[in-house]
């Protein structure tokens, strides 16, 4: 999946953001019809940031709890423990009696010695013990659910605010705000630590894990393939979905971060190196985790598969229990949770910066001064903290799981597929690769063309279909959600996806139907490199002032689109009923569609008032004024000039048929 989907999308988004130096919303000047994709990306990133920081808050909670002589999740003698708690030193044998059995059923936190004579009563007692143990929970499990989360029985019992966890959430958002207060300038200094320190800790933990008894069994369990599962389409679907999360693709973060790169930065090289390193890190972390799980399975005398858990259970139940069995357990726990916090903040910084930079790019008024920009960033942090508070209530873990389950599936896949179509089919692979060549001089490679135009969209589409066919309703700890919660989950899914459809509908209503929509499916005049020195070839400043309009006209049953300069606009307006020469034949301007900037007009017969230049950007003032003057004086222009063949080198040659 890395080769077919992950790497292609990773490179595409890096190049996309770097070329335009714009955030995930404003970058859709390349095709304003798909600006809703930018909003979808920002919404996805915002939702992820809300629950991601709650997870970081839980890590901070564990980190503080690790600064002690004895880790609090090692015994069943704490005030938060229940009768279901089974201590780590529970022996295999008990002395059976009617009294002992009834007591065991009510309180499992005792150690017994077994001396038994075979018989019906003994067998019945052993069966009862086994049923009790099967329902029991380890101290680490109870610490997480009963003390850290103070978890209620279901999402319908939402309960009250968990103040200790809320304090950790406040600290998490404070750290995020501090790192992003001045934007990438402050983030760049922090990222050196967040990127390097986890590798140091992973290496230390791996060395320690490999020295433990049973580590080899865990490693074998990790690397031994189960080829039967390759026949399960859900495995491939899960792999495709995971690669989006792993590489942060289609959530806007890559576009936002790459927009701060130098125009000539070799993003092709960066994409390959980072994508490979990312997957290599995941594999490396697997060795760290399963070496510890092998040790834990050895200690409990069970199979590795019996102690392995997914989701938060691995980080907050299984791994803490394994750490508690080590010598100098608090020290290793501190190391582990510092590493977890560092990894979490490293991702959270880029996710929140994506949201901030996208909004600041789209609404420049928010960043007119440094003070206003900082105030906006502080506001985002405050709102993020407030919206995260419901997830630290007694029933908050259910809401967190629901949001995570809903955001991490269909929205990312749909955004990825539509993004591939918008860039490589509608804007065009050839044009996009010309933009990349302008930045880094990379030669066209068939691998990227095949993946971007065909393989990646197809794989994503198949993944969406498989996810829909084999859809599983969200659960937490095996408990299904009520119907209203399931409906809420689907609303979360539709929230980002609907922005794509709603923006398209907005353009349909505003711009006058599909004919105008087809014309709008092209770059805005000010699309291109942000710096004047980088605007070359078709983005050359020498050509920019004259390229002010786009004309859509019909010849026969085909519709064509051409760029116009100032003089051609003047000719067009002064000869609305006179045939003009085009590369595709002679046409009459009346009834054609003219676009200048963000304004679109239908040319009226004998009218020079169809040209409206109020939507042009300030960078084209000279062209705008020239066009306005030409339009006002169109009556004085000779009609025959408009009927003459287009001069050599005119932009009429750049047209597209439908």
First to last CA, the chain: 34
User: What is the rounded distance in angstroms from the CA atom of residue 402 to the CA atom of residue 398?
Assistant: 6
In 3-state terms, what secondary structure has residue 156?
A: coil
Q: Is 343 annotated as a binding residue?
A: yes
475-476 and 549-555 strand pairing: unpaired
- Residue whose structure tokens are 């600290």: 171
DSSP string, 74-135: S-S-STT--TTB--TT--S-----HHHHHHHHH------------SHHHHHHHHHHHHHHHH
Which phi and psi (to 5°) does residue 608 adopt?
A: -115, 10
User: What is the rounded distance in angstroms from the CA atom of residue 384 to the CA atom of residue 401?
Assistant: 18
Please, which residues have CB within 8 angstroms of residue 70's CB and are 6 or more apart in sequence? 330
Any bridge partners for residue 563, and if so which?
550
In 3-state terms, what secondary structure has residue 344?
A: helix
H-helix or E-strand spanning residue 559: strand 558-564
Cβ–Cβ < 8 Å for 500, 24: no
Please, which residues have CB within 8 angstroms of residue 138's CB and are 6 or more apart in sequence? 85, 86, 88, 317, 321
User: What is the rounded distance in angstroms from the CA atom of residue 657 to the CA atom of residue 588?
Assistant: 17
Any bridge partners for residue 558, and if so which?
555
The two tokens of residue 635 are 């009556």
H-helix or E-strand spanning residue 349: helix 329-362
User: What is the rounded distance in angstroms from the CA atom of residue 15 to the CA atom of residue 563?
Assistant: 25
Please, which residues have CB within 8 angstroms of residue 118's CB and are 6 or more apart in sequence? none
- Give CA separation, 585 vs 549, 563, 588, in Å: 20, 16, 10
User: What is the rounded distance in angstroms from the CA atom of residue 156 to the CA atom of residue 399?
Assistant: 10
Q: Is 498 annotated as a binding residue?
A: no
Q: Is 230 annotated as a binding residue?
A: no
Q: Is 576 annotated as a binding residue?
A: no
Annotated binding-site residue numbers: 246, 278, 343, 347
Annotated binding-site residue numbers for Na(+): 246, 278, 343, 347
């Amino acid at each position: 999946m890395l080769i077919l989907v992950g790497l292609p999308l990773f490179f595409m988004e890096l190049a996309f953001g770097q070329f335009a130096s714009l955030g995930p919303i404003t970058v859709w000047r390349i095709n304003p019809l798909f600006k809703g994709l930018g909003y979808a990306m920002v919404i996805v990133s915002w939702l992820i940031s809300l629950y991601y920081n709650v997870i970081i808050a839980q890590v901070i909670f564990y980190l503080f709890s690790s600064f002690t002589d004895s880790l609090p999740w090692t015994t069943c003698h704490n005030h938060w423990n229940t009768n279901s708690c089974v201590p780590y030193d529970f022996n295999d044998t008990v002395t059976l009696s009617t009294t002992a059995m009834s007591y065991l059923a009510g309180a499992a936190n005792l150690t017994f010695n077994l001396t038994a004579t075979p018989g019906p009563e003994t067998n019945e007692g052993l069966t009862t013990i086994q049923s009790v143990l099967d329902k029991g929970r380890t101290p680490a499990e109870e610490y997480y659910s009963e003390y850290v989360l103070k978890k209620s029985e279901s999402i319908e019992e939402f309960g009250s605010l968990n103040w200790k966890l809320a304090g950790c959430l406040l600290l998490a958002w404070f750290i995020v705000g501090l790192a992003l207060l001045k934007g990438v300038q402050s983030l760049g200094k922090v990222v050196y630590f967040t990127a390097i320190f986890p590798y140091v800790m992973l290496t230390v933990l791996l060395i320690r894990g490999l020295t433990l008894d049973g580590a080899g069994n865990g490693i074998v369990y990790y690397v031994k393939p189960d080829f039967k599962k390759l026949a399960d389409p859900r495995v491939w679907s899960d792999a495709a979905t995971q690669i989006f999360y792993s590489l942060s693709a289609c959530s806007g973060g890559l576009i936002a971060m790459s927009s701060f790169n130098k125009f000539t930065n070799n993003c092709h090289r960066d994409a390959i190196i980072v994508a490979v390193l990312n997957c290599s890190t995941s594999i490396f972390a697997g060795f760290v985790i399963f070496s510890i799980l092998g040790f834990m399975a050895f200690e409990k005398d069970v199979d590795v598969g019996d102690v392995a858990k997914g989701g938060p259970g691995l980080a907050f139940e299984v791994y803490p229990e394994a750490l508690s069995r080590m010598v100098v357990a608090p020290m290793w726990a501190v190391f582990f949770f510092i590493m977890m916090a560092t990894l979490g903040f490293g991702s959270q910084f880029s996710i929140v910066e994506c949201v901030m930079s996208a909004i600041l790019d789209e609404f420049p008024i928010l960043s007119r001064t440094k003070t206003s920009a900082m105030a906006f960033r502080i506001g985002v942090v405050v709102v993020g903290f407030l919206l995260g508070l419901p997830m630290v209530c007694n029933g908050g873990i259910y809401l967190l799981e629901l949001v995570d389950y809903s955001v991490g599936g269909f929205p990312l896949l749909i955004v990825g597929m539509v993004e591939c179509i918008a860039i490589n089919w509608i804007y065009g692979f050839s044009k996009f690769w010309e933009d990349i060549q302008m930045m880094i001089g990379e030669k066209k490679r068939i691998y990227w063309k095949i993946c971007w135009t065909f393989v990646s969209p197809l794989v994503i589409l198949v993944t969406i279909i498989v996810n829909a066919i084999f859809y599983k309703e969200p659960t937490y700890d095996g408990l299904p959600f009520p119907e209203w919660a399931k409906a809420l989950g689907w609303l979360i899914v539709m929230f980002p996806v609907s922005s794509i459809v709603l923006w398209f509908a907005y353009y349909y209503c505003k711009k006058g139907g599909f004919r105008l929509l087809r014309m709008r499916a092209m770059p805005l005049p000010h699309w291109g490199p942000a710096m004047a020195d980088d605007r070359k070839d078709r983005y050359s400043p020498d050509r920019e002032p004259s390229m002010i309009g786009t004309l859509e006209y019909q010849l026969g049953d085909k519709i064509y689109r051409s760029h116009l300069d100032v003089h051609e606009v003047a000719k067009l307006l002064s000869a609305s009923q006179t045939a003009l020469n085009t590369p595709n034949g002679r046409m009459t301007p009346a009834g054609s569609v003219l676009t200048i900037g963000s304004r679109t007009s239908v040319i009226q017969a004998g009218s020079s008032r169809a040209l409206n230049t109020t939507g042009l950007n300030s960078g084209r003032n000279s062209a705008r004024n020239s066009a306005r003057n030409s339009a006002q004086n169109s009556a004085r222009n000779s009609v025959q000039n408009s009927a003459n063949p287009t001069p050599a080198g005119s932009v009429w040659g750049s047209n597209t048929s439908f």
